[in-house]
Amino acid sequence: MILELLAVGLVASAFLAVYLDDAVYSVVSLSSTLILVAILYSLNDAPFVAVFQLAIGVGTLAVLFLVSELLSDKSSGKKPLKTVFFAVALALLLSIPSVFLSVGTVPFGVSSDVLFPEALWDLRAIDVVLQGLVITTVALGVAIVLHEKEEEED
């Protein structure tokens, strides 16, 4: 039951992170997505990966939150409550396949005695490197934008 709730929360918060117009609310939705991913890792006996996910997520979200607060235009108009409820309902509808459908395993000659933590650290090394590269790129982009904005004000 907990995995189904995590799946609904992941899909709904990821959808809202993309859908919401206000940058601060999008960053909050993204943060809930990253926290739920860390909980999912923790439940699958990968506590080090969960801590790593939280550490990377906190650093990224701190930068995104500050940048969205500094650089985004403040929207004067509020979205109608009906539109927000519609977006949440659509996000929950999108999460239904992840809750009720299961994917069967297809044997293809690879040993299945690889543990989940081992697969995360051994088979996803390039993913971890690319995630670090994305965070570095975001930080450099933010530094350039803030530097240009500072020069514009002077």
Task: Identify whether 28 is part of a domain.
Answer: yes
Per the structure, the complete domain to which residue 49 belongs is given by 2-101
Q: What is residue 75's predicted lDDT score, i.e. its pLDDT?
A: 61
Task: Identify whether 122 is part of a domain.
Answer: no
Task: Identify whether 82 is part of a domain.
Answer: yes
**Nearest to 34, CA basis, from 3, 56, 1, 12:** 56
**Nearest to 7, CA basis, from 105, 70, 100:** 100
- Cα–Cα dist 53/44, whole Å: 14
For 23-50, the pLDDT digits (tens) are 778 888 888 888 888 898 888 877 877 8
Task: Identify whether 60 is part of a domain.
Answer: yes
Q: What is residue 111's predicted lDDT score, i.e. its pLDDT?
A: 57
Task: Identify whether 80 is part of a domain.
Answer: yes
Ramachandran angles phi, psi of 144, nearest 5°: -65, -45
Residue 21 has pLDDT above 50, yes or no: yes
DSSP annotation of 101 reads: -
Q: For the chain, how many structural domains are there in total?
A: 1
104 vs 78 pLDDT, higher one: 78
Q: What is residue 109's predicted lDDT score, i.e. its pLDDT?
A: 53
**pTM for the full model?**
0.63
For 92-145, the pLDDT digits (tens) are 887 777 667 765 444 555 556 767 667 666 666 676 677 777 777 777 877 787
The residue type of 103 is V
Under the banding of pLDDT at 50, 70 and 90, the label for residue 88 is confident
Q: Is 90 helix (H, G, I), strand (E, B) or coil?
A: helix
